[in-house]
Amino acid sequence: MEIINTVAGLNQALNSARKEGKSIGFVPTMGALHQGHMDLVSRASAECDVVVVSVFVNPTQFNNPSDLEKYPRTPEADSELLKKFGCDVAFFPSEREIYPENLVSPRVDLEGLDEVMEGTFRPGHFKGVVQVVSRLFQLVEPQKAFFGLKDFQQVAVIKKMVLQLNLPIQIIPCETSRTEKGLAMSSRNTRLTEIQKEEALIIYQTLMQAKTDSAVFSPQETKARAMVWFEQGSLELEYLSIVDPDTLKELTDQWVSGATMCIACFCGEVRLIDNMTLI
């Protein structure tokens, strides 16, 4: 595995693969890697000739400076983990490498995908996501890019971006990796105490109950029943929505195929998100 810090070094590492017509798979991350990331790397390794993983904590997608400051950074541990799971090129760029002077980021009409759920509570977040992912796609030039569905709304935004910019990249959504008890794997989990990890299981329990309820109740009724779980627990709910998977518009009376419940809440000071397809 090559560890690279510069754009010039990345080009040098990938030029031969490009000339030989090898397929490049890409997994963009913000580091503090865990098994969920490694599942993405393993999937990329199974489908592509060369696997590139980027580790970059992108400042433009944080609307809260404190959250950016507290975001876990573990580059040494990340490197060791990537060596074991089929990564060929690990890209650890600086902010200057990603955002050089005079860089012009593309304008993308997300058609409202960025205005609900995460967009409501994290203004500017998806503008930052589009900025960094479009830049990384430009640098890596992958045929396939792999994203975890824990960030359900982000996947929808990136699919829309690829379509709008007409990029020759296939977006591969991958199922959320979970602990044995069901907690969605996240870099933020490192900030939870063992007691908080148990408390956070209410998220998964709520989603599973909603999946059962969806066979009997309307979206609006299913949502109302799910809200009760949080009223009785210790987590502070930020939003709970049942949405159309394509438009992300809230569902009320009628179900659609792929209807998904999305949850964001605080466990102590740690913000957690999760989702599940109900129908």
Would you name the residues annotated as active-site residues? 37
| Gap between the terminal Cα atoms of the chain | 41
| Residue in the block written with tokens 């409501």 | 120
Q: Residue 50: which of 143, 113, 119, 136 has the closest Cα?
A: 143
Greatest distance between any 2 Cα atoms in the chain: 59
Distance (Å, whole) CA 171 – CA 191 = 30
Give Cα separations from 168 to 131, 143, 160, 163 (angstroms): 17, 7, 13, 9
The answer to whether 112 touches 248, Cβ cutoff 8 Å, is yes
DSSP string, 254-270: ---TT-EEEEEEEETTE
Q: How far apart, in Å, are the Cα atoms of 226 and each of 109, 135, 233, 241?
A: 33, 39, 12, 10
- What 3-state DSSP class applies to 242? strand
Locate all alpha helices (DSSP H) within the chain, ordered by sequence. Answer: 7-19, 35-47, 65-70, 75-84, 95-98, 118-121, 125-140, 152-165, 194-199, 201-213, 219-232
